[in-house]
Amino acid sequence: MTRASPAPFTGRGPALPPLRRTISVGIIGLGTVGTGTVKVLVEHQRELERRLGWKLQLKTICSRSIHKRDLSWLRQPVNTTRDWRQVVADPKVDIVVELVDELRTARAIANAALGAGKNLVTANKQLVAEHGVELVERSQAAGVNLGIEACVAGGTPVLHAIREGLAAENFVAVYGILNGTTNYILTEMERRGCDFREALAEAQEKGYAEPDPTFDVEGYDARYKVAILSMLCFGQPARVADIPVEGITRIDRVDFAYAHRLNHTIRLIAAARRQKADRLEIFVRPMIISQRAQLASVLGAANGILLVGNKGGNTMITGRGAGGEATAVAVLSDVVEIGRAMAAGGGSTTPLGYTTWHPARSAPWGENVIAAYLRLVVRDQPGILARVCAVLARHRINIDSVLQEPGLTKKHLPFVMTLEPMREKLVRRAVSDIARLPFLAAPPLLLPFADLP
Ligand SMILES: NC(=O)c1ccc[n+]([C@@H]2O[C@H](COP(=O)([O-])OP(=O)(O)OC[C@H]3O[C@@H](n4cnc5c(N)ncnc54)[C@H](OP(=O)(O)O)[C@@H]3O)[C@@H](O)[C@H]2O)c1
């Protein structure tokens, strides 16, 4: 038998079939992400086409104020419209990219696009967290595809990693730093020893925080994102409103001083993890984490996600969580994936990683066991420690350590107790009793330790 000799190496790769068809994209919303997406598409167009094997055409762009915009930098003919319905109704548009800022409009666009048999890419985390299953079912009924990568961690491709690279994993937990604003504030408080207000003002000046920062600093943004991560990891959609959330506004610079004495730090952790009897514990809350934990190395406005699987162990992904061009890469990666599916003959994939879902079975609140950091601010007087210890003893909670920084004012004296593991609802009962003690100068702050790798 004779063997065919290998083709000589040319460095050009196998001959590509000619670009057979054009994929046309319509982009609705030209704010931070929309403008970034248009720019990256135009700048990377040839590379995107080489990856896709088809021509990629920016067919239409849409925003209500498009007539006021200078689009001279576009340097290619593109239809413009103020009416998103025209994008959806255009028979030449294959993929509708929805990048508006408001849920009702985003949902209307999504439903209209899928109803018209268009592929859809969206960056709206609230839409996907609250209506993701419904959107997937609609896209499957229409035989089209749905791209959602930009909804979590902006330019960090965590959803693809969970859905594709780790599709055979049985996840134990996912932990994330999912909000760049809060991580910037916390890591600046830590680095410079400044207080929350100062770090927030600086984040607003740099454009990391909105003028009204509530959505970020109270943890709501991270809650939508962890709801999506949880769906992809466990196939159990949770009601977003049922996910407990706590923000970072009560963290003080002194908490970093105490956390450092314990070789720990503080981060806003969004987590979903499997507890006993296949129940899920999902939450967003500030936690005390070891300085050696992988998530402690996520600094500034970055995002980081730690995936814990029962076979592959820990997979950590970090990167940019927001910003026009970083998020545009996620949006356009979805466009490429959808384009590839079209090139392969169509059919819809499973953007949420599952084809069937079970309603989330939540772990009952307060039954989780936590070791905790308790910061009390008191008007100093004799016998304080004894009275706090008596309350803890009454609730059968053991104290692990007591810390007090030197040189603090006696009228407003913060000190810290670390508590041994105990069911959270019992710890909370004890803390609400402590909050009623007459010498407390501020409400107690309770932060659980997160036992992270
Ligand atoms: N910013 C980020 O870094 C980031 C990261 C990840 C995900 N996301 C998500 O991406 C989406 C877009 O965010 P963004 O920051 O780019 O918002 P944005 O800067 O506020 O821009 C929103 C755009 O939508 C347009 N728009 C609103 N209603 C419209 C309508 N009825 N018809 C046509 N256009 C309309 C607005 O322009 P007109 O007023 O001119 O119509 C504007 O161009 C949101 O879902 C957001 O959560 C953002």
pLDDT at 1: 46
Distance between Cα 97 and ligand 1 center (Å): 11
Please list the ranges in the chain whose pLDDT falls under 70. 1-20
Residue 361 confidence (pLDDT): 83
Mutate to test the pocket of ligand 1, among 101, 206, 225 (most ligand atoms within 8 A of CB): 101
Report helix, strand or coil for 132.
Answer: helix
Listing DSSP states for 384-446 in one string gives HHHHHHHHHHHTT--EEEEE--TT--GGGEEEEEEEEEEEHHHHHHHHHHHHTSTTEEEEEEE
pLDDT digits (tens, 9 = 90+) for 307-365: 999 999 999 999 999 999 999 999 999 999 999 999 888 888 889 999 998 887 888 88
224 lines ligand 1 (CB under 6 A): no
Tell whether ligand 1 has an atom less than 6 A from the beta carbon of residue 207: no
Any ligand 1 atom below 6 A from CB of 451: no
- Ligand 1 atom having least distance to the Cα of 154: 6
* pLDDT on residue 63: 98
**Domains in the chain, ordered, with CATH?**
22-155+324-343 (3.40.50.720), 158-320 (3.30.360.10), 369-450 (3.30.70.260)
**Tokens describing residue 277:** 């009897």
Distance CA 128, CA 94 (A): 21
Which strands sit side by side in the sheet containing 146-147, from one edge to the other?
79-81, 55-62, 22-28, 95-98, 119-122, 146-147
- CA-nearest of 348, 347, 349, 340 to 21 is 340
Per-residue model confidence (pLDDT) at position 407? 73
pLDDT score for 39: 97
Distance 35 CA to ligand 1 centre (A): 9
CA distances from 271 to 149, 309, 338, 450 (A): 18, 14, 29, 10
What confidence score (pLDDT) does residue 408 get? 74
Closest alpha carbon to 149 in 355, 335, 344: 335
Q: Which of 27, 28, 33 best tests ligand 1's pocket when mutated (most atoms within 8 Å of CB)?
A: 33
**Phi, psi angle pair for 357, to nearest 5°:** -130, 150
Q: Which atom of ligand 1 is nearest to the CA of 322?
A: 3
* Residue 346 phi, psi (nearest 5): 85, -160
CA-36 nearest atom, ligand 1? 16
Residue 56 CA to ligand 1 centre (angstroms): 23
pLDDT at 278: 79
Question: Of the residues 27, 28, 32, 303, which should be mutated to test ligand 1's pocket, given the most ligand atoms within 8 Å of the CB?
Answer: 32
CA 188 – ligand 1 centroid, Å = 28
Active site annotation includes 225: yes
In the chain, the amino acid numbered 147 is G
